[in-house]
Every structure is written in structure tokens, then in C-alpha cells.
């Protein structure tokens, strides 16, 4: 495993074995920074953010943003992605199991590193004061993994002991009570470490600092009514104000500055995964979304998989003048020399009669024979000419634009402040026409347009569902999906985890 943290720099050092202890390479601040980096690199691991068949996939494909049609023999995958989009997923779906495993690997690794640092303190290698900053940061990382466990699975065991296996302790047999306990734990941890972690933004890129902790607390409070039944809108505003009033962050001049290949300088980056095609791989969006023939459009090193596409309704929610719509690829495709790209290898079609590749917003059907060119593809994250399957664009986990939109939503719900002005400032950045007023429908739609592919859409749809504010939300019908039951608002605990930990209680409805 690559250890990425060192003096806040995104240039990564040598590959180091994941089982190194601090004793093996010293106890300097730089060495310990590298040591705790293992807790972060899991986010970029198999099934993590921006990679296929795990946490990011189940959040995106179960939303109204993304669909993976079955294109004949391609992408059936046992029907898993059809079930994901239709909200008929089961505890046997492998992507759900991978999401569970990834998040608990993060918890387990954080606990192990905390245990190691506490042992060093006991042995006199570090003072408690010296260790507190590092341990506080690791507790923030662990709370981040638990935040996504709370959102994704609802009611899971709280594990703070390194020697306890993730499947061993039970979760609460009462789902609502267990979810409240997990919410309280995350809140307590983040409040406790907010003044332990650094407030030096320049030296903490790609890791939790004070403002990342407050932004995450704000996101927790934004969804408090979903998680606990009690809204916490003012608490969310208070946390976001700490980030806003710090003066450390601002809107980028251009929307796509946030998603450029070299986007480490974006003033909106609060907490990111600093992906690198060599040193921290795993961001595979190009492979997942682009049509096979688009290998020639971008001179890609490998052929893409022709999978993930936007639903037609989501794509058409953008005004034509909205610059953010340029993050989709539609229409005829051409190679760098200007020649049309052909949709080659169509069954039964000779090579000299292959049709030109034209990506259409319309998708003829979800299964079993969606056309190969149906569905616009995602290019929100800049694609480099000659790119490898692994992108080097940093992935924003917490972004300043989201902080502003979230605060505006909380103010709108409370009837305070001037949230319309904030929303229109963000729209103006992308040349979108100003809104005359805020409604549940246009607030949810605006969050979708600003934050698509950043893994917030499912959460937003569920939050607006709970408010019953007239917006199309998570349990409502959309492209290729009927009305779904509210128990699908959390995913099932995977069968293999239930079998491994017989004390676990399955979520209601599964």
C-alpha cells in the first residue's frame, strides 16, 4: 500500500509495505505523517471513490444520475446494476459487500494506527501531547468512514478496539436506536478532535484539517433528520460558518478548475483523494463510462468499457447555456485528426459499413439490448490525451461549493439569511440563468448540477424525500425505475458479513 501523507505534499514517496510500524522507520513528525497515511489510501482502494463495483458505484447507480444499461452480452453482471438502479438490490449483490468491506477496512486500519501510537506513548517514544494531534487526525478519518457507514448501511457496530474484528460485535437489534447511537458517536468524535487537528491548510492537503472536520460535521447535521428523526439545520449552519469565515476557501473562477488533471490548486478543495496514475491509482472513471471507440478520441492506453452513462432526465436538467453541461459527451465523436470514430465490432456488421459513433441522450431500454451508443458519457473530470486507465485528477470528498449550497439549503429550510443569493452566485459562475426563488425542486436540482459524480446525489435524494417537498426524490419513479420502498434508503448488510458475524442484525426489509 502506498503511504501518501508527508509534509502536505501530493508528490508521493516510495512504495512502502502496509505493515510497517513506526519503530521500523523512526518517530519524526514526517515519518509518523507517512505512517498514518495508510488510513487514507484505503479511500482510493478497490471499490472506493471513483472506481467500479464498490461504494462509489452503488451510491451513483442507485441515484437518478447514473445508469449502467445491459448492452446485450455486456454489463449484465448477474443483473446487479439493473437491480441497483431499480432499487431491488439484495444482500447477495457483490458491490454492496465490497462497499461494506472498504469502509470497515478504513475503520480497522484507523484503529490499528491509533493503537500503535498509543503504544508508543506508553513506551515513552512520544509524549501524549505530541501524539494527540496524530491520534485526533486518525479519529477524524475513522469518523469519516463511519459517516459513510451511517449513510450507506444505517446501523453497524461501533468498533474502537483494534483487537476486535469488524464482524465480531453486534449492531443494535433496534435499527433506529442503533442509527442514533452511531450518529452520536460520529458527532462526539468530530467535536472532540476539531481543536486537535491542524488548522494549517497549506500543509494538510489530502488529509483532515480543522476545516474538513467542521465541514463533515455540517454534512452530518444536514442529514440528522434522516439519521435520527430530529433536524439540526442551525447546527449545520454553525459548522459551515466556521469553514466560510476562515477565509481559507473560495469559489474557483471556473467550475472545471475543480476537476482538471492538475486540480490540487483549486481553492474549493477542503478534503480530497490525491490520485496519481503512478503513485495512487484507482480513479478509473474513463474506463467505466466511455464508449469502446472513444479510445481513439483521446488516444487512451486501453479500450474503455462502455458502461456508466447519464440518465436522459438528469442530463436534460441542465440548461444549454450552463457550462457544467460541458461535463457530458454527446453527439458525433471524432479522433484528434477530425475523422469520425466508428462503432466497430457490431455483431453481424462488416467493418466497412460500421455506423459512425454518435452518443445520444436517449437510452432505448435498460435491458436486455440497450444500444451501444445510447446515453451521454461523463467527462466532468478532465481527460488527458494518452491517459492510462488510472486518472491523476484529485477527487473532491469535501468541496467548498457544497459547503455554500448546504448552508443555503439549511437557511432556506429555516427561513433565514439570503440563500437565493448564494445559489445564484454559484449558478453565475457557470453562466446559468439566475433563479427567481428557491423551492425543494430547484434546490435539489441545483445540487445535482453542481455536485454530480461526487457521491452526494443518493444522500440528497433521500434527504429531500424525507421532507416531502415536491422534489423528485429517492423513492419516486425516474428513468427505468418505479416507486421504491423506503427500506431501500439503506443498503442491506451483505450476506457474507452476516454469516461471518452471527451477532449482526440485518436491516429492516431485507
Give the pLDDT confidence of 164-212 residue by residue, as tens digits.
Answer: 655 568 999 999 999 999 999 999 999 999 999 999 999 999 999 999 9
Q: Are 29 and 125 in contact (CB under 8 A)?
A: no
The share of the chain scoring above pLDDT 70, in percent, equals 90
340 SS3 class: strand
CA distance 71 to 367: 7
Q: How many residues are given for the chain?
A: 510
pLDDT at 116: 93
**pLDDT the model gives residue 330:** 98
Per-residue pLDDT at 468 exceeds 90: no
Mean pLDDT within 110-131: 92
The pLDDT value recorded for residue 164 is 62
Range 485-499 average pLDDT: 96
Q: What is the CATH number of domain 1-510?
A: 1.25.40.390
CB 410 within 8 A of CB 359: no
The residue among 16 and 327 whose pLDDT is bigger is: 327
Instruction: Give 41-106 as a 3 state SS string.
Output: HHHHCCCCCCCCCCHHHHHHHCCCCEECCCECCECCHHHHHHHHHHCCCCCCCHHHHHHHHHHHHH
- Single pTM value for the model: 0.93
336-341 contact pairs (CB < 8 A, 24+): 336/297, 336/299, 336/385, 341/293, 341/294, 341/296, 341/297
How far, in whole angstroms, is CA 388 from its chain's centroid? Answer: 22
* pLDDT at res. 467: 52
Largest Cα span, the chain:
75
- Place 11 in a pLDDT band, splitting at 50, 70 and 90: very low
Contact of 246 with 22, CB cutoff 8 Å: no
pLDDT averaged over the chain? Answer: 92
Lowest mean pLDDT across 67-71, 258-262, 327-331, 496-500: 496-500
With 80 as the cut, is the pLDDT of residue 27 above it?
no
**pLDDT tens figures, 396-417:** 999 999 999 999 999 999 999 9
pLDDT computed for residue 311 by the predictor: 98
Residue 5 has pLDDT above 50, yes or no: no
Mean pLDDT of 60-77: 97
Q: Could you tell me the residue ranges of all domains in the chain?
A: 1-510
Amino acid at each position: 500500500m502506498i503511504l501518501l501523507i508527508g509534509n502536505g505534499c501530493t508528490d508521493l514517496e516510495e512504495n512502502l509495505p502496509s505493515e510497517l510500524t513506526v519503530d521500523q522507520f523512526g518517530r519524526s513528525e514526517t515519518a509518523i505523517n507517512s505512517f498514518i497515511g495508510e488510513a487514507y489510501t484505503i479511500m482510493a482502494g478497490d471499490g472506493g471513490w471513483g472506481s467500479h463495483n464498490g461504494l462509489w458505484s452503488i451510491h451513483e447507480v442507485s441515484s437518478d444520475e447514473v445508469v449502467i444499461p445491459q448492452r446485450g452480452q455486456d454489463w449484465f453482471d448477474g443483473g446487479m446494476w439493473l437491480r441497483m438502479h431499480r432499487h431491488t438490490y439484495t444482500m447477495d449483490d457483490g458491490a454492496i459487500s465490497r462497499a461494506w468491506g472498504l469502509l470497515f477496512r478504513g475503520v480497522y486500519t484507523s484503529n490499528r494506527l491509533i493503537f500503535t501510537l498509543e503504544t508508543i506513548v506508553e513506551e515513552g517514544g512520544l509524549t501524549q501531547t505530541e501524539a494527540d494531534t496524530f491520534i485526533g487526525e486518525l479519529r477524524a478519518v475513522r469518523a469519516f468512514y463511519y459517516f459513510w457507514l451511517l449513510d450507506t448501511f444505517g446501523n453497524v457496530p461501533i468498533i474502537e478496539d483494534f483487537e476486535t474484528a469488524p464482524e465480531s460485535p453486534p449492531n443494535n437489534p433496534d435499527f433506529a436506536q442503533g442509527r442514533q447511537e452511531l450518529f452520536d458517536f460520529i458527532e462526539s468524535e468530530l467535536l472532540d478532535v476539531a481543536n486537535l487537528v491542524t488548522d494549517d491548510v497549506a500543509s494538510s492537503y489530502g488529509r483532515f484539517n480543522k476545516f474538513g472536520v467542521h465541514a463533515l460535521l455540517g454534512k452530518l447535521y444536514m442529514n440528522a433528520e434522516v439519521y435520527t428523526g430530529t433536524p439540526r439545520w442551525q447546527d449545520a449552519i454553525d459548522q459551515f460558518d466556521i469553514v466560510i469565515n476562515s477565509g481559507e476557501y473560495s469559489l474557483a473562477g471556473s467550475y472545471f478548475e475543480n476537476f482538471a488533471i492538475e486540480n490540487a490548486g483549486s481553492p474549493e478543495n477542503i478534503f480530497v483523494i490525491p490520485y496519481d496514475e503512478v503513485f495512487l491509482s484507482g480513479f478509473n472513471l474513463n474506463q467505466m463510462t466511455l464508449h469502446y471507440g472513444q479510445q481513439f478520441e483521446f488516444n487512451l492506453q486501453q479500450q474503455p468499457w462502455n458502461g456508466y452513462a447519464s440518465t436522459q432526465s438528469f442530463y436534460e436538467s441542465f440548461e444549454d447555456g450552463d457550462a457544467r453541461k460541458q461535463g457530458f459527451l454527446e453527439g458525433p465523436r471524432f479522433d484528434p485528426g477530425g475523422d469520425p470514430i466508428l462503432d466497430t465490432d457490431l455483431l453481424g456488421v462488416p467493418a466497412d459499413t460500421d455506423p459512425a459513433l454518435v452518443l445520444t441522450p436517449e437510452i432505448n431500454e435498460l435491458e436486455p439490448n440497450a444500444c451501444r451508443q445510447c446515453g451521454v458519457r461523463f467527462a466532468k473530470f478532465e481527460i488527458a490525451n494518452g491517459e492510462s486507465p488510472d486518472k491523476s485528477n484529485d477527487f473532491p470528498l469535501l468541496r467548498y461549493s457544497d459547503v455554500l449550497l448546504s448552508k443555503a439549503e439549511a437557511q432556506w429550510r429555516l427561513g433565514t439569511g439570503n440563500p437565493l443569493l448564494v445559489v445564484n452566485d454559484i449558478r453565475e459562475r457557470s453562466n446559468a440563468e439566475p433563479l427567481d426563488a428557491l423551492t425543494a425542486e430547484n434546490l435539489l436540482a441545483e445540487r445535482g448540477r453542481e455536485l454530480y459524480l461526487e457521491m452526494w446525489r443518493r444522500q440528497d435524494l433521500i434527504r429531500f424525500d424525507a421532507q416531502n417537498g415536491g422534489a423528485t426524490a429517492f423513492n419516486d419513479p425516474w428513468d427505468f425505475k418505479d416507486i421504491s420502498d423506503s427500506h431501500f434508503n439503506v443498503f442491506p448488510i451483505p450476506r457474507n458479513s452476516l454469516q461471518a458475524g452471527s451477532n449482526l442484525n440485518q436491516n429492516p426489509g431485507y
